[in-house]
């Protein structure tokens, strides 16, 4: 295969080098384009533009493949713990037994947050969305750990901040849940593993004992793994570009949380449940909502459907869908919206509009049904997505910093007024 792509532009020809990935993906390196031709490329939404090379996650949207550091999402969801996947994403390899014990010990012993963090809650009105609260709480960590403001942290400083984020985010998420219920917060217990500790802080109440259900642990562990990373999605790209300015890691993660909040991104899992409830309250006829989703004059979209990369079934959605029946049966929960979701999927996947556009259920379509069965309020669903995505964001940030990438600053094509003279207000 030729190692270059030839571009013919306004009578000039330039050869642009190719970047061939380990899965034979082909990228055209245009880093010399402007200096050689004066031209830039334009690709609104970056649908055809790679921002980086990366060795963290591989997606094949046509084949519905997702791998982290070479391991399939199916293998990881079936066999790994979320802490193992977090270690894999951040360090590049699955941990040995000793490495895992060290990592697990470090995380278990950094779960407390500064007591003053609870004061931040006094500023919020009742009913504040937990994603806005989480953005602020994670960003505020740089106030409690000012050494994190060093724009060029050494490896140990970097690792300390990474450990603090992984260890403290579950504590903060559980705190949000409790404070928004008006309940006393439950402190972490170092003797509990990551997922059990999170469930205990979230669902135990201060007056009673709480028995950690292994079904909950297994379901939560799997859901966190399925959300752990997804290459250059909107929020990971946000973390990278904020990190490219050498902002501190807490600020970068807060920016990623803000991007994930959007209903076209991670916010979709909350919107899916609200959509399914609306269908149920409207009598349960999915076809009416399918028609709305197809109507160009109607802003309604089938939330949880479609994906920028997957033009086949999102492998994560497949795993979650399979788990839905299993977990709800084990929990003895009968959720009518699960049947509506399945009916909606079946109707949509038989409709040319969705088939022609290759719109399949994505990771957000079924996840909320499990979260709801476990007792999480719908406003917390995207917070749970962020909890799972944290190690992926950290891995993406670390790779960008390790590669000494320059500050991200896209170009543009100006289409406004050409130069014109000032006119006094009286003459306008
Ligand atoms: C996530 O990038 C990632 O990896 C994200 C993520 C991750 O793990 O980080 O996978 C997580 O964000 C999943 C996506 C969650 N969002 C939703 O479920 C919201 C609903 N879906 C869409 O809004 C949409 O599908 C996107 C945002 C996901 C993708 O949008 P694109 O790639 O920009 O595609 P598009 O909007 O250009 O749509 C192409 C066509 C359009 O129709 P035409 O103009 O060609 O006639 O498909 C239509 C769209 O109108 N379309 C939909 C639709 N999604 C796309 N029509 C109805 N319902 C939908 N859900």
pLDDT in tens, 302-315: 999 999 999 989 99
Q: Please give the structure tokens belonging to residue 232.
A: 């250059």
Rounded to the nearest angstrom, the gap between the alpha carbon of residue 341 and the centroid of all alpha carbons in its chain is 22
Mean pLDDT of 87-98: 98
DSSP alpha helix (H) spans, 182-213:
194-203
The CATH architecture of the domain made up of 61-406 is Orthogonal Bundle (1.10)
- Is the pLDDT at 340 greater than 70? The verdict is yes
Q: What are phi and psi of 4, to 5 degrees?
A: -135, 165
- Is the pLDDT at 145 greater than 80? The verdict is yes
Between CA 340 and CA 350 the distance in angstroms is 15
Instruction: State the closest ligand 1 atom to the C-alpha of 236, by its place in the atom list counted from 1.
Output: 9
Q: Please give the structure tokens belonging to residue 191.
A: 């003797």
Lowest mean pLDDT, pick from 93-97, 125-129, 251-255: 125-129
Q: Please give the structure tokens belonging to residue 100.
A: 């895992």
As a whole-number percent, the residues of the chain with pLDDT over 70 amount to: 100
Distance 310 CA to ligand 1 centre (A): 10
Question: In whole numbers, what is the pLDDT of the chain averaged over residues?
Answer: 95
Nearest CA to ligand 1 atom 55: 306
Q: Give ligand 1 pocket residues (Cβ under 6 A).
A: 45, 230, 233, 264-266, 268, 293, 301-309, 357, 359, 362-364
Nearest CA to ligand 1 atom 41: 357
The pLDDT confidence band at residue 1, using thresholds 50, 70 and 90, is: low
Nearest CA to ligand 1 atom 51: 306
Active-site annotation, residues: 307, 364
> Could you tell me if 288 and 295 are in contact, meaning their C-beta atoms sit under 8 angstroms apart?
no
Between CA 40 and CA 412 the distance in angstroms is 8
Between CA 223 and CA 73 the distance in angstroms is 11
Between CA 156 and CA 170 the distance in angstroms is 22
Q: Domain residues of the chain, as ranges?
A: 4-50, 61-406
* CA separation, residue 68 to residues 84, 230, 388 (Å): 12, 9, 14
Q: What are phi and psi of 319, to 5 degrees?
A: -65, -45
Nearest CA to ligand 1 atom 20: 303
Best residue for ligand 1 mutational test, from 306, 357, 358, 365 (most atoms within 8 Å of Cβ)? 306
Q: Please give the structure tokens belonging to residue 2.
A: 């030729």
Mean pLDDT of 54-82: 97
Per-residue model confidence (pLDDT) at position 260: 98
Mean pLDDT of 396-425: 97
Q: Looking at domain 4-50, which of 3.30.70, 1.10.287, 2.20.28, 2.60.40 is its CATH number?
A: 2.20.28
Lowest mean pLDDT, pick from 130-144, 155-169, 202-216, 407-421: 202-216
Per-residue model confidence (pLDDT) at position 132: 98
Distance 81 CA to ligand 1 centre (A): 30
Per-residue model confidence (pLDDT) at position 121: 86
pLDDT in tens, 101-142: 999 999 999 999 999 999 998 889 999 999 999 999 999 999
Between CA 343 and CA 58 the distance in angstroms is 31
Instruction: State the closest ligand 1 atom to the C-alpha of 265, by its place in the atom list counted from 1.
Output: 12
Mean pLDDT of 12-39: 96
Per-residue model confidence (pLDDT) at position 326: 86
Nearest to 107 by CA among 175, 174, 170, 42: 170
Distance 305 CA to ligand 1 centre (A): 7
Instruction: State the closest ligand 1 atom to the C-alpha of 362, by its place in the atom list counted from 1.
Output: 13
Question: Going by DSSP bridges, is the β-strand pair 12-20/4-9 parallel, antiparallel, or unpaired?
Answer: antiparallel
Mean pLDDT of 337-353: 93
Distance 231 CA to ligand 1 centre (A): 17
- Is the pLDDT at 325 greater than 90? The verdict is no
What is the C-alpha end-to-end distance of the chain, expressed in Å?
61
Distance 287 CA to ligand 1 centre (A): 19
Between CA 12 and CA 109 the distance in angstroms is 62
Task: List 9's β-bridge partners, or say none.
Answer: 12
Distance 233 CA to ligand 1 centre (A): 12
Q: Please give the structure tokens belonging to residue 179.
A: 């404070």
Distance 309 CA to ligand 1 centre (A): 9
Best residue for ligand 1 mutational test, from 65, 307, 316 (most atoms within 8 Å of Cβ)? 307
Nearest CA to ligand 1 atom 7: 230
Per-residue model confidence (pLDDT) at position 35: 95
Same CATH topology for 4-50 and 61-406: the answer is no
Nearest CA to ligand 1 atom 8: 230
Nearest CA to ligand 1 atom 34: 308
Mean pLDDT of 270-282: 95
Instruction: State the closest ligand 1 atom to the C-alpha of 229, by its place in the atom list counted from 1.
Output: 8
Between CA 174 and CA 200 the distance in angstroms is 9
> Could you tell me if 319 and 370 are in contact, meaning their C-beta atoms sit under 8 angstroms apart?
no
């Amino acid at each position: 295969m030729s190692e270059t792509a030839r571009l013919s532009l306004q009578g000039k020809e330039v050869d642009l080098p190719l970047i061939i990935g380990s899965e034979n993906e082909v990228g055209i390196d245009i880093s010399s384009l402007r200096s050689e031709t004066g031209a830039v490329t334009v690709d609104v939404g970056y649908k055809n533009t790679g921002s980086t090379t990366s060795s963290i996650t591989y997606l094949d949207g046509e084949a519905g493949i997702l791998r982290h550091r070479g391991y399939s999402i199916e293998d990881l969801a079936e066999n790994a713990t979320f802490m193992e996947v977090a270690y894999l994403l951040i360090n590049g390899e699955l941990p040995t037994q000793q490495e895992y014990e060290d990592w697990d010990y470090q995380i278990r012993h950094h779960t407390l947050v500064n007591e003053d963090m609870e004061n931040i809650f006094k500023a919020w009105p009742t009913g504040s969305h937990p994603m806005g609260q989480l953005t602020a709480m994670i960003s505020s960590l740089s106030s409690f750990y000012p050494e994190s403001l060093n724009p060029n942290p050494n490896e140990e400083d970097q690792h300390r901040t990474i450990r603090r984020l992984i260890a403290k985010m579950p504590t903060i998420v559980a705190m949000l849940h409790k404070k928004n219920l008006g309940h006393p917060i439950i402190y972490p217990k170092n003797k509990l593993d990551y997922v059990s500790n999170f469930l205990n802080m979230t669902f135990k109440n201060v007056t009673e004992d709480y028995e950690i259900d292994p079904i909950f642990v297994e379901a939560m562990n799997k859901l966190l793994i399925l959300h752990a990373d997804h290459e250059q999605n909107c929020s990971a790209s946000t973390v990278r570009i904020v990190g490219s300015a050498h902002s501190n890691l807490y600020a970068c993660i807060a920016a990623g949380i803000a991007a994930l909040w959007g209903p076209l991104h991670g916010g979709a899992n909350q919107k899916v449940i609200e959509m399914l409830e609306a269908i149920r309250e409207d009598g349960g006829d999915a076809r009416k909502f399918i028609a709305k989703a197809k109507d160009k004059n109607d802003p309604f979209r089938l939330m949880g459907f479609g994906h920028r990369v997957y033009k086949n079934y999102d492998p994560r959605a497949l795993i979650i869908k399979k788990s839905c029946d299993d977990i709800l049966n084990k929990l003895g929960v009968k959720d009518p919206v699960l049947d509506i979701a399945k009916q909606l999927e079946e109707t949509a996947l038989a409709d040319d509009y969705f088939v022609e556009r290759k719109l399949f259920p994505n990771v957000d379509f079924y996840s909320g049904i499990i979260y709801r069965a476990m007792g999480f309020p719908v406003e917390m669903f995207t917070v749970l997505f962020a909890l799972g995505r944290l190690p992926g964001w950290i891995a993406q940030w670390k790779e960008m910093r390790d590669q000494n990438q320059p500050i991200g600053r896209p170009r543009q094509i100006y289409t406004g007024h050409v130069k014109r003279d000032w006119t006094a207000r009286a003459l306008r």
